[in-house]
């Protein structure tokens, strides 16, 4: 029987849809497929994106402050000479020496006081030679303050053997370098720099950064150790920062440069290529969404147009009974909205199912998922709302047509 | 209920413009049961549609329940129609997605916006009245023609309208069903004082009405007085 809380228009719309079973089922399936494609694609894209960002940001500071590059200066004036001849100058890029950031303590204090900035960590990095017996490798030695630096890049998670202890005579090395040089935890390594300084350090931990090149080259030592090896007493070659809002990093970097005059590179800038790719994908995603929505709209509209024609007699009878044009209009608008909504619910379920299936099937060689997918309720709610609105919009023309039917003509058939 | 000099043309402003009604004057008194006869295509349905506010006259005036209707907009006409006029058509025209009792409730539901217990009670009463209680929950399209027509009558009476318009309600029924449908209308007319315009080709049934008008080629050519004449000006609707 009729539920006393259901308005007249809902009662009619629901019954009409139930009576036109086949049409209703087909169009709901059509909408569902469209919505499922959008849900699946969007979740995949945002999963890919957030996975990449997470990976990048777990191995990299949000912003890095660097000393100014040494700029090449022409050797002579380029002003035209007396005979109006122009002298060409050959400008050679100068050799970049290891340089320190001037006044870095003051800058670090200034930046650390910014509300957006979470961690400031100084580092002194340079290329050195690691020697073990007769074997040697060129490596990048990064001198850090472990307490600060580990809050930016958490090496502790990546240690596969040994500890993260980093005293003056300690060094952390990657798995590749360890096997290249045949060293293990507790073994000694001789580090010598281009300046001729050298030091013997003991390997306290071996880490895996998930990247062969990085495991071969990157090593960590205490800041003081690096400073003395690189001939930079008290100096640093960079300041690493993390910020609260990772997407605001570029803006903050620009503000820091403006305030301190030091070059600041955000992760957004250093990964510009990635963002270009994401933008391109997002554009194509939007285009696909638009066309799916359009075909959903046309599908719903055409089903309703047919339904209005089929039901014109009944519409005429309803009008003869005193049902108003507005009520008829709402009956068909409702059907459009409901078709969109039901289709999107089915589509969201279908999309979620496809995502789960995809996660089961698409796996890394070791059987772990390619990347974790997040089922964001926002995505499903947005799909629901948009599909419902699309259905409503698509129903406008058929509903107007139904409302404007001349009852006499409709009844005569 | 009064029509004065009502003209109706179709396809106005086109080369095939045709006038179907040529100046109809008609008064239907309260409680009057009036038969409308005449050959097919003479304009009976057109006349009923105009009286029932489903269609507008091209010229002339129509007064329903004391209200002059020519100037009313669609919304006002719809309301007037919903509350004052019941329709029964030749092809019963039930809404097939609903059961018998839901069809009867429909006009009340449309007017009120939400279903309530009083509506289903009244609908049940009306179905009882037309003798269809056992079939009340049957889908409308699973009933016989006579049954469907009786549901349609019950539906037309739902709002207890002062005017009932029946366009060949018995045209598609066998004699026995036709008779029972006519009797229903007649009984309701007597008990509730509802005025009825009853289109029929059956002279026997017309004979049993209060009066008969005959429409030929869009004009009323003949008025026969039936047994009971209601001519008191007080009763004018
Ligand atoms: N909507 C319309 N458009 C054009 N002609 C119509 C329309 N409705 C009725 N007619 C014409 O008006 C005339 C009267 O029709 P109708 O009132 O249905 O007659 P009846 O009910 O007496 O058989 C017929 O010739 C019919 O073709
Ligand atoms: Mg007719």
Contact A8 B93 (CB under 8 A): no
Q: Do B115 and A314 touch (CB under 8 A)?
A: no
Gap between the Cα atoms of B220 and A63, Å rounded: 95
Ligand with an atom nearest the CA of residue B43: 1
Identify whether residues A354 and A298 lie together within a single domain: yes
Can you give the pTM of this predicted structure?
0.78
If you take atom 27 of ligand 1, which residue's CA is the nearest one?
B41
State mean pLDDT over A293-304: 94
Residue B10's closest CA among B56, B67, B63?
B56
What is the interface pTM, i.e. ipTM, of the complex? 0.90
Residue A380 has pLDDT above 90, yes or no: no
Which residue is listed with tokens 């990976």?
Answer: A55
The residue of B93, B136, B137 whose CB has the most chain A CBs within 10 angstroms, and thus the best one to mutate to test that interface, is: B93
**How many angstroms separate the CA atoms of B160 and B111, rounded?**
13
CB contact under 8 A, A322 and B114: no
Q: Tokens in use for A390?
A: 């699309």
pLDDT for residue B11: 85
- Give residue-wise pLDDT tens across range A201-211: 999 999 998 88
CA of B127 to the centre of ligand 2 (A): 27
pLDDT of residue A97: 63
Do A249 and A304 reside in the same domain of the chain?
A: no
Name the packing angle between helices A325-361 and A377-403 (round to 10°). Answer: 150
Nearest chain A residue to B156 by CA distance is A321
| Residue range A88-110, pLDDT digits in tens | 666 666 555 667 888 888 888 88
- Looking at every residue in chain A, the average pLDDT score rounds to 87
- Closest residue on chain A to B48 (Cα): A408
The average pLDDT across A144-164 equals: 89
Q: Is residue A270 part of a domain?
A: no
Distance, in Å, from the CA atom of B196 to the CA atom of B188, rounded to the nearest integer, reads 10
Domain that holds residue A232: 99-261
Choice from B18, B20, B50 to test ligand 1 binding pocket (greatest atom count within 8 A of CB):
B20
What pLDDT does B66 receive? Answer: 83
CA atoms within 13 A on the CB side of A86: 4
* Contact residues, chain A, for B74 at CB < 8 Å: 324-325
- B140 and chain A in contact, CB less than 8 A: no
Q: Let me know whether A179 and A310 are in one domain.
A: no
Asked whether the predicted pLDDT for residue A4 surpasses 60, the reply is yes
Residue A236 and residue A310 in one domain: no
**What is the topology classification, in CATH, of domain B2-233?**
Rossmann fold (3.40.50)
Cross-strand pairs, B68 = B63
Which of B50, B86, B96, B106 is the mutation pick for testing A, counting most A CBs within 10 A?
B106
In a domain, A92, yes or no: no
**Separation between Cα atoms, residue B76 and residue B82, nearest integer Å:** 10
Tell me: do A103 and A163 sit in the same domain.
Answer: yes
A145 and A291 share a domain? no
Name which of B55, B93, B113 is nearest A8 (Cβ-Cβ).
B113
> How long a stretch of residues is chain A?
413
Are residues A236 and A283 both part of a single domain? no
Span of A71-80, A169-178, A229-238, A341-350 with lowest mean pLDDT: A71-80
CA distance B40 to chain A (A): 14
Pocket lining: B45 vs ligand 1, CB cutoff 6 Å = yes
Query: What are the start-end ranges of the E strands in B65-148?
Result: 67-68, 85-88
Residue A69 located in a structural domain? no
Domain total in chain A: 2
Decide which of A228, A261, A294 is a domain's last residue: A261
Predicted local confidence at residue A81, as pLDDT: 53
First-to-final CA distance of chain A: 30
Cα–Cα distance list, A302 to A22, A23, A378, B53 (Å): 14, 10, 30, 32
**pLDDT, mean of residues A160-164:** 90
* A244 and A282 housed in the same domain: no
Residues A254 and A284 in one domain: no
- B114-124 pLDDT, tens per residue? 999 999 999 99
Q: How far is B111 from chain A (nearest CA, A)?
A: 7
Cβ(B14) – ligand 1 distance below 6 Å: no
Residue finishing a domain among A226, A261, A296: A261
Q: How many CB atoms lie within 10 A of CB B193?
A: 13
A353 and A309 assigned to the same domain: yes
Considering only CB atoms, which residues of chain A are within 8 Å of chain B? 1-8, 11, 15-16, 18-19, 313-314, 316-327, 406-408, 411-412
Considering the domain boundaries, does residue A198 fall inside one?
Answer: yes
Bridge partners of B219, per DSSP, are B216
Nearest-CA neighbor of B101 among B67, B128, B73?
B128
Q: How many CB atoms lie within 10 A of CB B233?
A: 6
> Which of A11, A15, A317, A321 to probe by mutation at the B interface, max B CB count within 10 Å?
A321
Closest atom of ligand 1 to CA, residue B39 = 22
Q: Please report which helix (H) or strand (E) contains residue B20, including its range.
A: strand B18-27
Ligand nearest to the backbone CA of B19: 1
Q: Which two tokens stand for residue A233?
A: 């007493």
> Is A339 or A366 the better-scoring residue by pLDDT?
A339
If asked whether residues A195 and A298 sit together in one domain, one would say no
Q: Rounded mean pLDDT of A376-397?
A: 92
According to the model, what pLDDT value does residue A172 have? 94
Does the residue A266 lie in any domain? Answer: no
B234: closest CA of chain A, how far (Å): 28
Domain ranges of chain B: 2-233
Counting residues of chain A whose pLDDT is more than 90, the rounded percentage is 51
Cα B20 to averaged position of ligand 2 atoms, centre (Å): 12
- Per the listing, tokens 């950031």 go with A101
Pairing of strands A218-222, A159-162: unpaired
- Check residue B160 and give its pLDDT: 92
- Domain-ending residue, one of A261, A284, A307: A261
A210 and A147 in a common domain:
yes
Q: What angle do CA A31, A36, A37 make, to 5 degrees?
A: 105
Angle at Cα B213 formed by Cα B210 and Cα B217, nearest 5°?
A: 165
Nearest to B54 among A6, A7, A408 (CB): A408
In a domain, A375, yes or no: yes
Q: Which residues of chain B have pLDDT under 70?
A: 92, 223-237
Element (DSSP H or E) covering residue B167: strand B163-167
């Amino acid at each position: 029987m009729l539920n006393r809380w259901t308005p007249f228009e809902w009662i009619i719309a629901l019954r009409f849809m139930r009576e036109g079973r086949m049409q209703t089922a087909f169009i709901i399936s059509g909408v569902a497929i469209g919505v499922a494609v959008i849900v699946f694609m969007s979740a995949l894209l945002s999963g890919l994106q957030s996975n990449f960002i997470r990976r990048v940001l777990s191995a990299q500071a949000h912003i890095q402050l660097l000393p100014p590059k040494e700029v090449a200066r022409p050797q002579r004036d380029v002003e035209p000479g007396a005979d109006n001849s122009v002298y060409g100058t050959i400008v050679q890029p100068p050799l970049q020496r290891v340089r320190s950031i001037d006044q870095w303590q003051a800058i670090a204090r200034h930046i650390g006081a910014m509300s957006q900035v979470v961690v400031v960590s100084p580092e002194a990095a340079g290329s050195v030679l690691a020697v073990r017996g007769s074997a040697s490798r060129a490596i990048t030695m990064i001198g850090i303050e472990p307490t600060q630096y580990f809050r930016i890049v958490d090496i502790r998670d990546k240690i596969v053997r040994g500890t993260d202890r980093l005293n003056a005579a300690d060094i952390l090395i990657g798995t590749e370098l360890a096997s290249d040089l045949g060293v293990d935890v507790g073994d000694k390594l001789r580090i010598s720099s281009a300046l001729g300084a050298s030091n013997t350090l003991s390997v306290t931990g071996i880490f895996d950064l998930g990247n062969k090149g990085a495991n071969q080259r990157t090593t960590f030592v205490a800041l003081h150790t690096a400073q003395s090896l690189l001939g930079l007493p008290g100096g640093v070659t960079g300041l690493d920062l993390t910020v609260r809002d990772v997407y605001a990093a570029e803006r903050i970097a620009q503000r820091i440069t403006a305030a301190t005059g030091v070059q600041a590179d955000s992760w957004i800038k250093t990964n510009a290529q990635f963002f270009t790719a994401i933008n391109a994908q997002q554009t194509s995603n939007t285009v696909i969404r638009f066309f799916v929505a359009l075909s959903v709209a046309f599908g719903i509209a055409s089903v309703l147009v047919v339904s209005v024609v089929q039901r014109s007699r009944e519409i005429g009878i309803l009008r003869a009974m005193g049902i108003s044009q507005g009520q008829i209009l709402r009956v068909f608008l409702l059907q459009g909205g409901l078709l969109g909504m039901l289709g999107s619910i089915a589509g969201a379920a279908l999309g979620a199912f496809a995502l789960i299936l995809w996660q089961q099937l698409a796996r890394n060689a070791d059987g772990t998922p390619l990347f974790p997918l997040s089922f964001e309720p926002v995505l499903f709610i947005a799909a629901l709302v948009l599909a419902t609105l699309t259905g409503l919009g698509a129903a406008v023309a058929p509903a107007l047509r139904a409302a404007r039917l001349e009852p006499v003509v409709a009844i005569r058939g | 209920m009064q029509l004065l000099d009502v003209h109706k043309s179709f396809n106005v402003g086109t080369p095939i413009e045709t006038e179907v009604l040529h100046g109809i004057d008609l008064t239907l008194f309260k409680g009057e049961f009036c038969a409308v006869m005449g050959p097919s295509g003479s304009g009976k349905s057109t006349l009923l549609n105009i009286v029932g506010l489903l269609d507008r006259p091209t010229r002339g005036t129509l007064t329903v329940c004391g209200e002059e209707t020519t100037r009313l907009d669609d919304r006002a006409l719809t309301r007037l129609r919903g509350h004052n006029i019941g329709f029964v058509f030749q092809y019963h025209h039930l809404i097939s997605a609903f059961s018998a009792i839901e069809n009867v409730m429909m006009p009340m539901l449309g007017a009120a916006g939400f279903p309530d217990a009083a509506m289903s009670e009244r609908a049940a009463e009306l179905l009882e009245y037309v003798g269809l209680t056992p079939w009340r929950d049957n889908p409308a399209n699973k009933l016989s023609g006579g049954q469907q027509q009786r549901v349609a009558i019950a539906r037309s009476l739902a709002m207890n309208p002062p005017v009932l318009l029946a366009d060949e309600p018995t045209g598609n029924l066998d004699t026995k069903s036709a008779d029972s449908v006519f009797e229903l209308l007649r009984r309701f007319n007597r008990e509730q004082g509802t005025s009825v315009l009853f289109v029929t080709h059956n002279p026997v049934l017309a004979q049993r009405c209060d009066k008969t008008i005959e429409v030929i080629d869009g004009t009323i050519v003949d008025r026969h007085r039936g047994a009971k004449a209601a001519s008191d000006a007080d009763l004018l609707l």
